[in-house]
Chain A
Amino acid sequence: MIRMLAKSIREYKMASILTPIFVVLEVVMEVLLPFLMANLIDYGVSGNGGKGDMDYIVKTGLMLVAVAFAALIFGALSGKFAAQASAGFAKNLRHDMFYKIQDYSFSNIDKFSSSSLVTRLTTDVTNVQNAFQMIIRVAVRAPFMMIFAMIMSFNVNMSLSWTFVAFIPFIAIALAIVMRLAHPIFTRVFKTYDKLNNVVQENLHGIRVVKSFVREDHEVEKFGKISDIIYKDFSKAEKIIAFNMPVMQISVYSCILIISWFAAQFIVGGSMTTGELISMMTYVMQILMSLMFISMTMVMIIMSKASGDRIAEVLSEEIDLKNTDKPLEKVKDGSIVFDNVSFSYSKNKDKLCLKNLNLTIKSGETVGIIGGTGSSKSSLVQLIPRLYDVTEGSIIVGGEDVRKYDIEVIRDNVAMVLQKNVLFSGTIKENLRWGDPNATDEDIVRVCKLAQAEDFIERMPDKYDTYIEQGGTNVSGGQRQRLCIARALLKKPKILILDDSTSAVDTKTDKLIRKAFLEEIPDTTKIIIAQRVSSVQDADKIIVMDKGRIDAVGTHEELLKNNKIYAEVYNSQQKGSEDNG
């Protein structure tokens, strides 16, 4: 995981290395301070036979001031570089993940789900960023501080130094136990938090359902149960963590008292000076405090490990749709052949949602697909632009297997209007130009006329410059569908697939769209999934899907005569409308 993430440091490697260097320099300065201080006291204040040596005080004092200033500057520099390194690292992480996701296939996206990808790109990156900053600053500072302070203290007084060396394993073991006990509880708590947030989120979105079914109490109870688990676990973990402080305090206090006892005897015995005692005391504090910091950073790092793992998962995900070595760059025509195609989303051959499909569509044909909810109509057409790969068999477009084409080429030639379609925040023009970034205004007007969208766009205050809100909430469902069709048309595709894309468009407009298709883009193969028979009845061929199989293929008249499902669908819609329509 760490190696995976470390790849994203890149141009911030310099700052990431400079930070710990300046941290170490700052530590060196800080450790020098008590040492010089001891000299100041021993040779300055109590020097000259106890009368004091002002010259020495000034000389050492100025040196001390210089050292303190140096520490200040090193410290500030390390802070600055740490900020650069961590913010840059976070930027690169987001960048790498975002780019990687752009390469994801549909099944890669399905595997993670959109909402989880969003969390990984946002919250998890922030967590890792904080941990990274912690590592290059505090996690470097504390051990170095400990080592340097240790060296200095041994330098000052060997035998006294052993006293606090004795305490280090005690503290280390105690802190390790505390962490060992608390960590699993913390990880559990964070998982429970996710659940809690999920309940809140679902209640926000589904508040009408909750209120309609009068389930407020039920929801409050559900929330309360999870809230209670968090309360219990969190309290338990924090109560354990609370032991950190007294362990530290008792160690520090014990060291002070023990050193006091022996130092008093040494000083009286003449083998030690008062200044040395004072610097010893400072080193005790420095060493034990850095141990404390080490334990704190460990907790932080461990907590962010989960986030790091989740990011690494995104980055290391194997992309299951890849270009072949020498991909074809041109699609000859819009003919499609399904050759014994089976397909399963889970790659599990027992759960096939398409079974042994055979089908031939000529270039320029109009094909209608009709079938019940869950009959795998969408799955069928999603295989054509290679949004998913077949599990068995092959799909041949323009005479070649779709897997032989460059992915971008095949998708540009097979335009698909998805069932769950999305417009993005931006003007109508900007949204349409997704189909072709170089489209002229005339091109745009032309496709909008084709998709019967021109009328309502012209009626809007800013026409083609009307701003679409996120998710396209400020246009109606029917308008949104027509904009999506126009957007797809702008690609000038060889094959156009409409996956239930006119369901919110009224029958008359629907008819006009199909008429325009027939007249204006006769060479494009058109595949139309619809629930309305009227949307497909004049197609060259209609496919009736049932439970992942092709139940029948034929023209409207043929199917009406020979196919039970088709006739039933037709009758359910046509009752009474013939004589009135």
Chain B
Amino acid sequence: MAKAGKGQRLKNPSKVIKRLLSYLKGYRLRFIVVLVCIVMSAAASALSSMFMQTLIDDYIMPLMGSDNPDFSNLLRAIIIMAAALLIGALAGLAYNRIMVVISQGIQKKIRDQLFAHMQTLPIKYFDTHAHGDIMSRYTNDIDTLRQMMSASLPQMFASAITIITVFVAMLTLNLYLTLFVLLFVAVMLFVTKIIATGSARNFVAQQRELGDVNGFIEEMINGQKVIKVFCHEEATKEEFDRKNEALCKSATAANTYANILMPILNNLGNLQYVLIAMVGGALAIFGVAPITLGIIAAFLPLSKNFTRPFSEISQQLNAVIMALAGAERIFELMDEESEHDEGYVTLVNAKYDKDDNIVESDERTQMWAWKHPHGDGTVTYTKLCGEIVMKDVDFGYDENKIVLHDISLTADKGQKVAFVGATGAGKTTITNLINRFYDIADGKIRYDGININKIRKTDLRKSLGIVLQDVHLFTGTVRENIRYGKLDASDEEVIAAAKLANAHDFISMLPDGYDTVITGDGGQLSQGQCQLISIARAIIADPPVMILDEATSSIDTRTEAIVQKGMDGLMYGRTVFVIAHRLSTVRNSDMIMVLELGRIIERGTHDELINQKGKYYQLYTGAFELS
């Protein structure tokens, strides 16, 4: 599992920053207010430390020894200061609150954009990228980004402002002491650099070990039942201890570096504080420079205020680099190319007019038609029938590696076409081409006579119902899961679909019936029950073409027969593609295609193929093994 910014170098930080700044657009005015407020707040804090000097030199020393001191000037000064500091504190409140809105707003925007864009990506992207890695962009990366924006950035900006104001303040007080402070800052930066390098190295090691341990935990916990069945607990514990120990070692090293940075910088600051007192004292005594007691008194807190922001910045720097690395990964996903869709043929509700021509209808009719606009401005309508023709189709997931060769087939309206073959023969791949999860390399696929490349993808997929090999249900009630096929389906429709899929009985037995919440990927249901629900989900969508990819593999044959009977009634007049391992599932198909290594090697009805005594016959009689 990849973690955010794991020791990776930023490719182009300035580009990332520029892009992040573009998100500020809607907040321009507010951002300016924030900047102004930060300046005010930092100035107030500098002012408060400078006040010591004024206090001692202007209001205390002159009054020393007078019998009847007049404190009215001091009172006035304090009132003015109070007003200024109050404004500073309020400015601090204001910028913090505005920054919350800005950083949360930007975070939400990025999050939403990321998800919306992810939905447009082609299937290939999800096949070739680890889910854990994509997931970490939503969790780690966005979170580090938020922390940077709401905490690190304002802090760093405030620190920078403080450094400037305090530097100016120090210069006005005394040049020599200022130079001394600068020298010390150089020492601190040097120390920081040494520690930070060691910290970064060990941090990378820690992340690697952590990934290792977490990966092990994930694999073992998910296979926990097998561990128990084999009484393999002890061996697993041993392996775990070894990995856990390694993590502990690198975590200790990484944290040690991180932990000692602050006390060291802090106390170097204290050391500097002491040295200034000594140097200042010496300068004052020997009269080398015009130094008063007030100047030393004021310089001490100032010097601390000067070095503190440096250590603050060095602490935040790591967070900023991590966040920028995270932002880069987020933008990388956002820049992934979306699924191409040059289709312009759309699916519309249709009806016949008086002259038996197909026309578009605003109402929901039971009839659908392809709306096909032409270059000359005319529009033709083709009735949606569900006829699919493939001609000389070649395809490869990788351009150089063709996995399907010369696939040609015709599925007439209402026909049931089956694919049979060994794992990896290309059965699922063919169906992935029909719904355009992937695009063919060569050849043509026509749907009701229209090249499917011309059909808008969403409309094409709406006209296809698919029950996939791996069942995926979503967290929610059973009802919601079935309704996924048709969002506005009534409860009666849901139940009718469940009955057709033979799922009604067991759903009724669940604790809350149709309102039982399924979590995870249907954890508490058996594999077969999940398949039944996913079949109900496809049934309710009521598409003219159905693709069943090993849809009943975990369902016993008797239930399968019942489901099939129900579906056969429903599917009457609809085109069905069936992929199945079990030959009993495909036997009654109108056409069976036997695939081997990406080619159709035999085709025909069950009886024809049996008579041919070819591969299908061998499979059927058990003389050949499907693996």
Contacts and interface: CB of A to CB of B under 8 A. Distances in A.
Contacts of B351: none
Contact of B610 (A204, A569, A580): A580
Interface centre among A137, A204, A569 (most CB of B within 10 A): A204
A257 B126 contact: no
Q: Say whether chain B's binding surface is mostly helix, strand, loop, or mixed.
A: helix
Contact of A243 (B93, B300, B521): B93
Contact of B557 (A65, A220, A260, A573): A573
B549 to A, nearest CB: 10
B407 to A, nearest CB: 21
23 contacts: A65-B275, A71-B267, A72-B270, A79-B256, A80-B259, A80-B260, A84-B256, A115-B520, A197-B138, A213-B537, A213-B541, A220-B115, A220-B116, A253-B44, A256-B48, A261-B71, A261-B75, A274-B56, A274-B60, A378-B526, A385-B229, A387-B228, A577-B620
A206 B425 CA distance: 23
B468 A101 contact: no
Given A411-B228, A456-B627, 10 more contacts: A64-B274, A75-B262, A79-B261, A87-B252, A95-B244, A103-B233, A197-B139, A214-B461, A238-B100, A470-B219
Contacts, number: 446
A204 B112 contact: no
A214 B530 CA distance: 21
B340 interface: no
Given A75-B264, A213-B485, A508 B293 contact: no
Interface centre among A133, A235, A478, A577 (most CB of B within 10 A): A235
Contacts of B150: 238
A67 B273 CA distance: 12
A508 B623 contact: yes
Interface in B35-51: 44-45, 48, 51
A200 B119 CA distance: 10
A220 B119 contact: yes
Interface string B207-242: 000000110011111111111111111011100110
Interface stretch (B82-90, B368-376, B443-451): B82-90
Given A83-B252, A373-B556, A249 B92 contact: yes
Given A37-B273, A80-B260, A478-B627, A373 B555 contact: yes
B274 A572 contact: no
A188 B235 CA distance: 40
A418 B225 contact: yes
B557 A569 contact: yes
Contacts of B229: 385, 387, 411, 415-416, 418
B296 A213 contact: no
A562 interface: no
Contact of B56 (A212, A227, A277, A568): A277
B377 interface: no
A265 B558 CA distance: 99
A491 interface: yes
A210 B97 CA distance: 39
B252 A209 contact: no
B296 to A, nearest CB: 6
A3 interface: no
A122 B461 CA distance: 39
Interface string A69-88: 10110111011101110111
Nearest to A91: B248
Contact of B59 (A82, A264, A437): A264
B622 A573 contact: no
Contact of A26 (B86, B104, B263, B559): B263
B2 to A, nearest CB: 14
A575 B115 CA distance: 50
Given A41-B296, A204-B134, A387-B229, A281 B224 contact: no
Interface string A86-122: 1110110011001101111110011001110110011
A257 B56 CA distance: 13
A532 B253 CA distance: 58
B108 A231 contact: yes
A38 to B, nearest CB: 10
B238 to A, nearest CB: 11
Interface stretch (A335-343, A358-366, A420-428): A420-428
Nearest to A130: B255
Interface string A486-520: 01000100000000000110111101000000000
Nearest to B460: A214
B377 to A, nearest CB: 28
A569 B626 contact: no
A121 B217 contact: yes
The 7 closest A-B pairs by CB, nearest first: A75-B263, A79-B259, A206-B472, A52-B285, A83-B255, A508-B622, A373-B528
B192 interface: no
A148 to B, nearest CB: 15
A196 interface: yes
Contacts of A231: 104-105, 107-108
B521 A205 contact: yes
Given A40-B277, A249-B89, A479-B627, A87 B251 contact: yes
A61 B520 contact: no
Given A113-B519, A374-B506, A79 B263 contact: yes
B357 to A, nearest CB: 28
Contacts of B48: 252-253, 256
A33 B260 contact: no
B494 interface: no
Contacts of B581: 504
Nearest to A421: B226
B118 to A, nearest CB: 7
Interface stretch (A43-51, A304-312, A396-404, A441-449): A43-51
Q: Say whether chain A's binding surface is mostly helix, strand, loop, or mixed.
A: helix
B285 A45 contact: yes
A6 interface: no
Given A87-B248, A511-B622, A65 B274 contact: yes
B287 to A, nearest CB: 9
Interface stretch (B7-15, B62-70, B168-176, B387-395): B62-70
Contacts of B226: 418, 421-422, 434
Given A45-B284, A72-B268, A420-B527, A80 B256 contact: yes
Given A198-B475, A200-B115, A264 B622 contact: no
Contacts of A122: 214, 217-218
A351 interface: yes
B260 A76 contact: yes
Contact of B119 (A26, A83, A203, A267): A203
B259 A83 contact: yes
A218 interface: yes
A489 B6 CA distance: 44
B293 A208 contact: no
B89 A33 contact: no
A568 B561 CA distance: 10
B461 A213 contact: yes
A192 B622 CA distance: 53
A83 B256 contact: yes
B556 A371 contact: yes
A125 B64 CA distance: 62
A451 to B, nearest CB: 14
A121 B506 CA distance: 34
A257 B468 CA distance: 73
Contacts of B278: 40, 57-58, 61, 64
B553 interface: yes
Interface centre among A220, A264, A471 (most CB of B within 10 A): A264
Nearest to A532: B557
A228 B280 CA distance: 57
Interface in A319-376: 351, 370-374
Contact of B135 (A46, A80, A200): A200
Interface centre among B262, B474, B584 (most CB of A within 10 A): B474
Interface in B381-440: 423-424, 435, 437
B625 interface: yes
B78 interface: yes
